[in-house]
Structure 1
Amino acid sequence: MSDIPLVEEALARVATGDPSAAQALLEAGLSAPAPNTANALYDLGRLALALEQPVVALGFLDRALECDSQLSPAHVDRGRTLHRLGRGREAIQAMCRAVAIDPDAHAALNRLRWLLDEGRLRTTSALSRLAQRGLPVASVLDVGASDGQWSLAARRIWPDARYHLVEAFDHWRAPLEATCSAQPGFSHVIAAAGNSDGEVWFYNDPDAPYGGAAFQDQPDGKEQPQKSWKVPQVALATEAERVGLKPPFLIKLDTHGFEVPILEGAEALLSQTNLVVIEVYVFHVHPQALLFHEICAWMAEKGFRPIDLSEPLWRPRDEALWQFDLFFVPADRQEFACNAY
């Protein structure tokens, strides 16, 4: 089955929100006679893991290692798979095995460090560190809210805050309605956030509901009506006034490259904002996207500096750092008065 260029292309398409190629390859591998080479089984395991099918992935990776127990990358992905399945100790053991085989296995070393220090890299840990240093939040604008899990996690840190969840993809309407009905102080709107009220193009593959991004113009090459359509757009400053949110604000953006227009629509709120959490990228995931260092420069012009990070993600094709969440606070915060370690 193994065809490295084909597999890498399929994995790249998963990363950009188009899982169809990887799914087709995986289904072909599942329906055909089982391959008997370690590399072919490893490729099937990688595909299954990228498609969020960890049980299937583990089966292929175990069989790959039966064929070649010295295949270090398979131990790495086996560790990632075990972690997804909640088997943390076994995940660490798998990464250790990869490093024992290849002491220069950077992917394994990076993952091992992350697994051993995972608690500090969680979003709730970063939020807790900020709250412990006396950062108040009265209202949260959660943009790219999906089913509301981020706000539910933040509520453990700021239980008395108001939470307004903004989500463009109608796929999440029912879960958001259920979450907001069950949680006092929660509200939501099905709309994209942008620089003004109106409409905007939105692209999303229905088979990949955690992806999706807004575009000022209809996305080139993505004109399929089932994947690209217009949605309502709201400016965060207007939306905050409409639902009666009070400062100080926390703004969270999981918006896949559309951050600048959203922050432009929140301009009137920024002077009263204590924390901005932005999912930032090392690669261009959107034609208009700023890379993470460009986001830092843009936020510096608005008077914010990064203070923490969480949830780093490495892309499966080459284990390069893909994205992470950066936490920005006003540049006059007391933490920046001290430059000593």
Structure 2
Amino acid sequence: MTKGKLFNRVLRSAASMLTRQGFHVSEERYSAAYLKRYGFDINTFIDVGVYQGSPVFYELFKDKKFVLVDPQPDTMEKAADSVKGLNFDYIQSGAGSAKGVATLSLEGPSSSLMKRRDWKRQPEKTVEIQISPLDELLENKGYKGPFGLKVDTEGFDLDVLKGAEKTLRETQFVFTEASLRRRFEGSYRFSELVAYMAEQGFEVADVIPHRSHNRLVDVLFVRSDSSYLEPNAVPVRMVGSSGKTNNQS
């Protein structure tokens, strides 16, 4: 028996045992190894809402051009280790549907331009920032498509996408954090996000749940006319109660 087959047998045995104890066992989908199966072929990756970086995508597209968009003044200090060795540009700005000034509540990775409904505490610090449509921030910079786009802006995600309609026309996929519950005052409903992306020619290809709660998920949108929506385009190893693995789309 090869090492690979032995390893898979051990995994199946462990997964079966955990399932019998009431645990759900599935493949880690927020990983470069999993997302690589889609075969995305882009020239530029745009990361909106950087904070400490997006290592999964930096690994996946390490030989591509990166555009990092974030308004926080210490973004490059926090993301220094993640972006080391990458070919990137940093744009210090907020992104939204229109140009203006807004108040950003500084809460580390949970920093937001929206007022929270799910937290009772007040933000420790706020800062005034400039906001511009992503289309304007990228305009005349010579960035080459097709693009990959990641948006993680704590409830402001749909607003960011509404300011990126021109960019979306050259975008192969969009990976965005999405609220399932109304976590912020005046924020979107999940159905509104899906409907807007459908209007832009995108469909949901994958939904990755949060590990510890169901208030939000990560959603992968791909172009509705692309091959990435075909059945079995990305085989997922799921482990059932019998311990057997099956390929599912």
Mapped partners of 1:264, 1:338: distance in 2: 29
| Matched ranges for 1:1-341 at <5 A | 96=18, 100=21, 109=22, 112-113=23-24, 116-119=25-28, 121-131=29-39, 135-148=40-53, 150=54, 152-176=55-79, 179-180=82-83, 182-205=84-107, 209-215=108-114, 226-241=124-139, 243-310=141-208, 312-315=210-213, 321-336=214-229
Q: Please tell me the root mean square deviation across aligned C-alpha atoms, in Å.
A: 3.3
Cα separation, 2, equivalents of 1:227 and 1:242: 34
Identity %: 24
3-state SS of the aligned residue for 1:214?
Answer: coil
**What's the TM-score once normalised by structure 1's chain length?**
0.56
Closer, same or farther in 2 for the Cα pair 1:331/1:190, shift >3 Å? same
Pair 1:283–1:241, CA change in 2 (3 A): same
The answer for unaligned runs of 5 or more in structure 2 is 1-10, 233-247
Cα offset for 1:177? Answer: 5.1
- Report the alpha carbon displacement of residue 245 of structure 1 after superposing the two structures with TM: 1.5
* Residues 84-135 of structure 1 deviation map (CA, whole Å, 9 limit, x = unaligned): xxxxx9xx89x959x75xxxxxxxx4xx22xx3243x22324421212xxx3
CA contact (8 A) 1:122 1:311 kept: no
Q: Counting strand residues as a fraction of each chain, which structure ranks higher?
A: 2
Q: What code does the residue aligned with 1:328 have?
A: F
Question: How far is 1:179 from its partner?
Answer: 4.9
Instruction: Say which one has the larger Rg.
Output: 1
Which has the bigger relative contact order, CA under 8 A and spacing at least 6?
Answer: 2
3-state SS in 2 of match to 1:136: coil
Q: How many residues align?
A: 220
Q: TM-score, length-normalised on structure 2?
A: 0.74
Q: Could you tell me how far 1:226 is from its partner in structure 2? A: 4.6
Contact 1:170 1:190 in 2 (8 A): yes
Aligned partners of 1:204, 1:190: CA distance in 2, in Å? 15
Q: Residues 45 and 61 of structure 2 are in contact (CA less than 8 Å); yes or no, is this contact kept in structure 1?
A: no
Match of 1:63 in 2: none
Amino acid aligned to 1:279: E
State the secondary structure of the residue aligned to 1:213: coil
Q: Secondary structure at the match of 1:155?
A: helix
Deviation of 1:242 (Å)? 5.0
Q: 1:219 to 1:161 in 2, by over 3 A?
A: same
Contiguous gaps of at least 5 residues in structure 1:
1-88, 101-108, 316-320
